Amino acid sequence: MMFVFTLTFPFLFVTLVGATEYEQIVLSPSEPRPSDSDVYKVQYELEKAEIFPTVIDKFLPSFLLEAKWSSGERAELGNTVKVDKVQNEPTITVRRDDSGSSLGVMENSNVTYSIVITDPDAPSRDNPEWSEFCHFIATGIKISQSSAVVRASSLTDIISYRPPGPPPETGKHRYVFLLLAPVNGTTDPLNLSKPSDRRNWGTGKARHGVRDWAKENGLQPVAANFVYAQNEKQ
C-alpha cells in the first residue's frame, strides 16, 4: 500500500492507495492520526473539551485512566452520565497504554499515586465563580508493571467523594478525573495538604483549583478522563 499526502491548509489529506481502491482520510492539525496510540486520543479529547489549559497544562498521559460506577455508568472521555447514576464512589482502573508509549515512565511500583475529581464549571460554565469545585482527593494508589484496579472507598481520603450535583439551568458540567504522581518520583509516603474549601479548592480565586494544589504538593498529572453531567431542569 502506498500513501499519498496532499496538504491543503489547514487540513492534511492522506490517500491510501491500494491495488483497486482509494481511501482518503482528512486530518485537522490537532486530531490524532490513525496510527496514534490511545494516550494521544486522550490528549486530543482533553484539548477539544478545553480541559487544556482551563484545568491543567497540556501533558501527554503515561497511563490510561478508567472510572466505573456500580450503576454501570463509566467515564469515556466526554460522555454524558446521569447524575442519579453516579452517586456512589467509582472504581478506578489505571493501565499502561498498549502501544508501549508509556514504558519507562513511572515504572517504580512503590510510587504512590493520587486521584482527584474537579469541576471547572461551578456553578456554571458562564459563571465559574466557584470554579474549580473539588469533588474528590484520595491517595494510596499503587500501580504494578501493567495496571491497577482500586475502589475509591479503599483509598485514603483527603477530601471525601462528593458526587456530581450541578444546579438547575446551568448546562453541562465537566467532571475531570486526574491521576497525579510525585514530580520527583519519591517512594516516600505523601503528606498532602487538604484544601480549606471545596470551592476554588480553597484558593479563594475563580478558575483556580487542582493545578495550584498539585504544584503546592509537588505532583504532576500522568492520566486523565472526564464526563459531562447536567441537572434535569434546564
pLDDT tens per residue across span 100-109: 454 444 567 7
Where does the pLDDT of residue 33 fall: very low under 50, low under 70, confident under 90, or very high at 90 and above? low
Tens digits of per-residue pLDDT, 68-98?
A: 999 999 999 999 999 999 999 999 999 987 6
Q: Which helix (H) or strand (E) holds 54?
A: helix 51-54
Q: Write phi, then psi, for 156 (nearest 5 degrees).
A: -90, 115
Per DSSP bridges, beta strands 91-96 and 147-151 are antiparallel
Tell me the per-residue pLDDT of 2-31, one tens digit each, with 9 for 90 and over: 433 344 334 444 444 444 444 444 444 456
d(CA 74, CA 77): 9
As a three-state string, the secondary structure of 63-114 is: EEEEEECCCCCECCCCEECCHHHCCCCCEEEEEECCCCCCCCCCCCCCCCEE
pTM score, two decimals?
0.84
Q: For residue 133, what are the β-bridge partners? A: 119, 199
Q: Are 202 and 138 in contact (CB under 8 A)?
A: no
Task: Please state the φ and ψ torsions of residue 47, each to the nearest 5 degrees.
Answer: -70, -40
SS3 200: helix
In b/e form, how buried is each residue of 22-54, taking b as 16+ CB within 10 angstroms? eeeeeeeeebbeeeebbbbbbbbbbeebebbeb
